[in-house]
A and B are shown apart, each in its own frame.
Chain A
């Protein structure tokens, strides 16, 4: 028997038909959808008189443009309100479960899917959103798709796809003090470039990945897309099974046992081959901060804003110049001299419970710097509720943070949470593109602890100056 990667195993189990032209018809076990990329897809179904083939495998979320303030207030933005209403209507018409604005399970689809037990190892999962790769952290083969494909999966529960190539991203060594999964992925993108994984399914492996929690792996998988990857995956282990067990939709009883048995066969076989391999030693990784307008434009917090003249490639030099102009930064400025106006702890990259706990450890008993607007937007209402049971909301609010309801929020600025032109933001999200967080807004991507420290000091600081694992009072038992 030939040794296979987890990606190959899942792929082969789901191919229904291969055509000579190299495209395969894949069965899709799970389809997650949201208010922004679904309306036209539903419209397509309606126009062609089709139904959703397997509504029980399809789940709808509201996340991209939902307000994160008081949920009982009417939605001010007319188009947002319209999209949310449209999703409700479509879900009803086509018989799909929807986690609406008042649902305790509402949240960003890539946070809520895994925590509800909708994401399982070994399944194929798609969503009309580029960061669907996040679900690969649980050993699912997960693809972001476009709106025509959303309609296609609705109608057929299948997808045409050319088999991506495989890429091994080996991460070895122990993450040093102050370095997180977010720093690891920013570092990787810096090294391989924003096009470094184009066309590939990235499998993260190695001792550093094995040591990571499931939520840390989600951060890695989430941002593989920023290196151009088609998807990302990690072979599941006991941590993954524990993460899924007893979630609302997880298999129960005998089905759980049956599931476990088949999941244990998924991990990549020893000796399996990849089309491409990269490897990194993380044992000297430092906290990372992006300085430019794509996630590859990253330096360590101890470094300075680079000088475009140091780039040999003329097109890279031009891009760096343009980025610095947009970012309003001078070459040679130490990262720790850069002041921030806004701090955003949120998004499907870094707004899970563990992210909030780590940030709270920095924030506890301290105050947000004067003039800084700092917000925490939990990745889901469930994360929010769990955090509140721990008392994290009080820690953040006492320090001067806003504690909001869940949604994509300032990651994409489709709701009211957005930067003003010229404002500079330390953000735990995944994209620092021009205007992403609001027209003219300037985004620096960082880990949650780096963001928390920036909020306290009003500028970037080396988070290693803080005691990161200090004991803070958590209230779980009292709840």
Chain B
């Protein structure tokens, strides 16, 4: 279900805001939706719409130059806060396939890897330079995950680090469950020696 990523190329958009929490990426009111598709129109909702639902101009991704952006260059601590995976789905549905930032919220980072959204950490000054460059509206970046390298016109190739397991997962578009079930033996062995007190047994007087 997850698309493998090897090399991607796309328009980059700057989002010069630090500490963008998942609540800003997708407000809680849209968590009630029962599916992961179609969340893009609610992404960054409160930056893009007024209370009455009319569009609020000025949000960078609504700028015609960035409408088709696939790479978001964000500020530090991107995706902190609530664990909602919907934040990743919303970005993907918006067409974002890669986020570059100085740092990420942990849960967001993990959720991204599982859903085929590439998150790249780069030093803050480099991110700021890329943001400034992207602001011009015509920055196309080529990201080679295999080589761990970002390149673009007038941009010296940038190496980035990524945890090997995150890389492998993104490269292969691996499904976690299948990977875990390769270890059925180990799971069974644990379950056999698991102390019985860990398995909850309701008291016969549950009402008290």
Contact = CB atoms under 8 A, between A and B. Distances in A.
Given A23-B165, A228-B77, A319-B19, A39 B34 contact: yes
Nearest to A247: B203
Contacts of B11: none
A17 interface: yes
Contacts of B190: 14, 16, 27
Contacts of B195: 258-259, 262
Interface stretch (A154-162, A235-243, A468-476): A154-162
Contact of B203 (A50, A79, A151, A248): A248
Interface string A403-446: 00000000011100000010000000001011110011000000
Contact of A148 (B51, B111, B206): B111
Contact of B31 (A36, A86, A158): A36
Contacts of A307: none
Nearest to B86: A147
Interface residues of A, number: 84
B151 interface: no
A interface: dominant SS: loop
A194 B77 contact: yes
Nearest to B168: A21
Interface string B135-176: 000000000000000000000000000011100100000001
B165 A22 contact: yes
Interface residues of B, number: 62
A198 interface: yes
A5 interface: no
Interface of A: 14, 16-17, 19-23, 25, 27, 29-30, 36-37, 39-40, 43, 48, 50, 54, 56-57, 59, 64-65, 79-80, 82-83, 86, 104-105, 117-118, 120, 123, 128-130, 144-149, 151-152, 155-158, 160, 162, 164, 194-195, 198-199, 228, 230, 248-252, 255-256, 258-259, 262, 294, 315, 319, 412-414, 421, 431, 433-436, 439-440
Given A146-B84, A198-B103, 14 more contacts: A37-B83, A50-B177, A57-B200, A83-B34, A120-B198, A130-B83, A156-B180, A156-B181, A160-B180, A194-B77, A228-B80, A249-B203, A256-B197, A440-B51
